[in-house]
């Protein structure tokens, strides 16, 4: 370890973040130092003279030791105390040497209660090994939120919509991201059961967008990560496709009028649609209609009648132009995704997490980890295959333990995570080998 300082500045030179007297492994870059200091070191409530974390050793210790102790408490992972000691030591070594890293919520949340006695407010759900049931948590960190990727569902019901707003806020607060397919919501052309006409999908998406932006502004970890998916047959598909383009045209007008072009400035704060990734879900039937220059019908959600009819190529042109203009919406190929689905009998795949690498059942979660492949090259530039295999076993065991240590914003997500145990292990630096 060596003493370092982290300073992060804006383009104008103003200091955004500064921390001195950090203890960082010698081999870590300054960028890695800045990230761990600004994002992952706990800044309050740590029972030491500084009241915060300032060493990588302390950060790794709270994570690795908590995972090890949970494995011992839940049982079935280690045959002896010595094996648990070895697991903790090997996991710590992989993390300190940058051979492996967990997703951010592990660094944010794991071990804060077990090592520092930090609690926070409860309200999530976690598996109880004593009763094999899913109980509401009493605090935030004895069963920390450790998964980065969530997929949630929403129904065409006002209470379901605002229940999702609440659960999204809990995920954002503790550093996770979430995606939802909003195609169940009726369009603005459809009637309400009590009379009158629905305000429509887009009005509610603006509510979700503002909620995500507010959570970003008040959050302690990072800005909200959110995915909005919509099927191509939804009555408001055109408005959805062009949403960000319309809003960014407003931004351009404000900038031309003298407002700052900074993403955190007033121009961007004034418009909607800036706090999510948007994707359209296209089927083989839609792509066939595009290929043959056919028509495409949008369907009312309440009665199944046709809402509008478009040329399929016109819709694809709108998607292409919008993506060219503002990088959204993305395209998710619904038919292919569900053809490759590994749990077809349980339910279909309707959405993804914000980055689109996790596609699975609604109301599920996935915790992630990555390996740095260049760290497995030996002195002769030969890849250490056996060392890599062993590292995969160690990290997979850790992630398995994290699935049941973790808490989740709803009981259904907690149950699905326990039952299906989605793990996402990736790698970095393949191109550098």
Question: In whole angstroms, what is the distance from residue 157 CA to residue 399 CA?
Answer: 36
Q: Which neighbouring-strand residues pair with 178? A: 150, 226
Is residue 56 a contact partner of residue 24, using CB atoms and an 8 Å limit?
A: yes
Question: In whole angstroms, what is the distance from residue 136 CA to residue 113 CA?
Answer: 17
**One of 353, 363, 367, 416 is an active-site residue; which one?**
353
Q: Is the peptide bond before 329 cis (omega within 30 degrees of 0)?
A: yes
Phi, psi values for residue 184, rounded to 5°: -70, -20
Is residue 367 a contact partner of residue 399, using CB atoms and an 8 Å limit?
A: yes
Under DSSP, the state recorded for 98 is: T
Closest CA to 319 of 359, 351, 279: 279
Under DSSP, the state recorded for 236 is: T
Query: Where would I find the H helices in 301-349?
Result: 312-326, 334-339
User: Per residue in 150-180, is it b (16+ CB within 10 Å) or e — as a string?
Assistant: bbbbbebeeeebebbbebbbbbbbbbbbbbb
Closest CA to 232 of 162, 315, 337: 315
Question: In whole angstroms, what is the distance from residue 140 CA to residue 76 CA?
Answer: 25
**One of 206, 249, 355, 411 is an active-site residue; which one?**
355
Q: Which neighbouring-strand residues pair with 55? A: 23
Is 353 an annotated catalytic residue? yes
Closest CA to 126 of 141, 114, 115: 141
Q: Which neighbouring-strand residues pair with 15? A: 9
**One of 136, 295, 297, 357 is an active-site residue; which one?**
357
Q: What's the sign of the alpha-carbon dihedral 254, 256, 260, 262?
A: positive
Is residue 374 a contact partner of residue 432, using CB atoms and an 8 Å limit?
A: yes
Task: Give the pairing type, strands 359-360 and 306-311.
Answer: unpaired
- Point out the residues that are catalytic: 353, 355, 357
């Amino acid at each position: 370890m060596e003493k370092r300082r982290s300073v992060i500045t804006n383009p104008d030179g103003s200091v955004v973040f500064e921390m001195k007297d950090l203890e960082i492994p010698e081999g870590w870059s300054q960028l890695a130092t800045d990230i761990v200091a600004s994002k992952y070191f706990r800044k309050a409530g740590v029972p030491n003279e500084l009241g915060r974390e300032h060493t990588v050793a302390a950060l790794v210790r709270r994570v690795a030791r908590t995972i090890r102790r949970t494995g011992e408490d839940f049982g079935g992972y280690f045959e002896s105390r010595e094996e648990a000691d070895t697991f903790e030591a090997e996991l710590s070594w992989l993390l300190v040497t940058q051979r492996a890293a967990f997703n951010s919520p592990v660094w944010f949340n794991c071990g804060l209660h077990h090592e520092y006695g930090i609690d926070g407010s409860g309200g999530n759900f976690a598996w109880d090994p004593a009763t094999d049931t899913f109980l509401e948590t009493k605090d935030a960190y004895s069963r920390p939120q450790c998964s980065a990727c969530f997929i949630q569902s929403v129904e065409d019901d006002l209470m379901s919509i605002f229940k999702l707003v609440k659960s999204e806020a809990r995920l954002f607060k503790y550093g996770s991201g979430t995606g939802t397919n909003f195609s169940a919501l009726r369009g603005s052309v459809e009637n309400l059961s009590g009379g009158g006409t629905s305000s429509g999908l887009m009005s509610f998406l603006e509510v979700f967008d503002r909620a995500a932006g507010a959570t970003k502004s008040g959050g302690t970890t990072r800005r909200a990560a959110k995915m909005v998916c919509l099927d191509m047959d939804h009555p408001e598909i055109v408005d959805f496709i062009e949403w960000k383009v319309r809003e960014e045209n407003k931004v351009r007008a404000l900038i031309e009028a003298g407002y700052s072009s900074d993403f955190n400035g007033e121009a961007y704060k004034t418009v909607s649609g800036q706090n999510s990734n948007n994707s359209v879900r296209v089927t083989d039937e839609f792509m066939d209609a595009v290929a043959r220059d056919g028509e495409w019908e949008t369907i009312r959600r309440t009665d199944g009648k046709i809402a509008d009819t478009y040329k399929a190529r016109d819709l694809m042109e709108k998607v292409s132009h919008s993506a060219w203009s503002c990088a959204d919406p993305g395209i998710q190929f619904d038919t292919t995704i569900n053809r490759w689905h590994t749990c077809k009998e349980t339910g279909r795949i309707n959405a993804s997490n914000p980055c689109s690498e996790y596609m699975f059942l609604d109301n599920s979660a996935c915790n992630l980890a990555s390996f740095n492949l260049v760290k497995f090259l030996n002195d002769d530039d030969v890849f250490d295959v056996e060392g890599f295999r062993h590292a995969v076993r160690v990290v997979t065991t850790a992630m398995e333990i994290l699935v049941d240590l973790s808490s989740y914003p709803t009981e259904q997500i907690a149950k699905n995570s326990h039952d299906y145990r989605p793990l996402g292990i990736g790698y970095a630096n393949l191109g550098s080998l």
